[in-house]
Amino acid sequence: MLGKGVRVLWERKHISDSVSVEVILKRINQLVLLGINPLIILGAFWFVKLDSMKLALLPMLGVLTLVLGGILAISISKFQKLDRGIRAAKDQALYNLYRDRLKAIVVDTDGIGWGFHDQLDGMFFEIAQEFGEDVD
């Protein structure tokens, strides 16, 4: 409900664009998973009379499961973001390696006809724009 409330406030322009809604929602999610959920579980078992030691450990195992799951989820998401960054850098390096050769092919195909050169030129232009290069 809190996340929905933040989204409604953002849509009505009560939250400025300087703060990303995705960042706010991500922080709320982390707070709930790593902070509020374990407290609720501990509170629920606090008032229950537990006669067996095994039953007394049950809430602690639940909290441990939630905390470890949250920590692992955050760690895996960081790793995946790093992996995407490495792939993007690798693609950029490949583009830089073959850029001049690709451009020469586009120039050499001028006049072939049937729209071949135009298609090739358009594809090269899109690739160059993707890597932040101005093509003339």
Q: What is the pLDDT of residues 18-50, one digit of tens each?
A: 777 777 778 888 888 778 877 877 777 777 776
Q: Where are the beta strands (DSSP E) in the chain?
A: none
Cα(134)–Cα(5) distance, integer angstroms = 42
Count of domains observed in the chain: 1
Q: In this structure, what DSSP letter does residue 134 have?
A: -
| pLDDT (0 to 100) of residue 135 | 67
Q: Is residue 40 in some structural domain?
A: yes
| pLDDT (0 to 100) of residue 24 | 78
Cα(60)–Cα(22) distance, integer angstroms = 31
| pLDDT (0 to 100) of residue 73 | 83
Q: Is residue 86 in some structural domain?
A: no
| pLDDT (0 to 100) of residue 83 | 63
Q: Is residue 130 in some structural domain?
A: no
85-103 pLDDT per residue, tens: 666 777 778 778 888 888 8
CA angle 7, 8, 11 (to 5 degrees): 85
Residue 7 CA: distances (Å) to CA of 36, 47, 57: 20, 36, 38
| pLDDT (0 to 100) of residue 78 | 76
| pLDDT (0 to 100) of residue 106 | 82
Q: Is residue 33 in some structural domain?
A: yes
First vs last Cα of the chain: how many Å apart?
51
Mean pLDDT of the chain: 77
Cβ atoms of 16 and 45 within 8 Å: the answer is: no
Range of the domain at 30: 19-48
Q: Is residue 35 in some structural domain?
A: yes
Q: Is residue 135 in some structural domain?
A: no
Q: Is residue 81 in some structural domain?
A: no
Q: Look at the pTM and tell me if it is higher than 0.75.
A: no
Residue 136 CB-density burial (10 A; 0-12 exposed, 13-18 middle, 19+ buried):
exposed
CA angle 123, 129, 132 (to 5 degrees): 150
Residue type (1 letter), 21: V
Q: Is residue 14 in some structural domain?
A: no
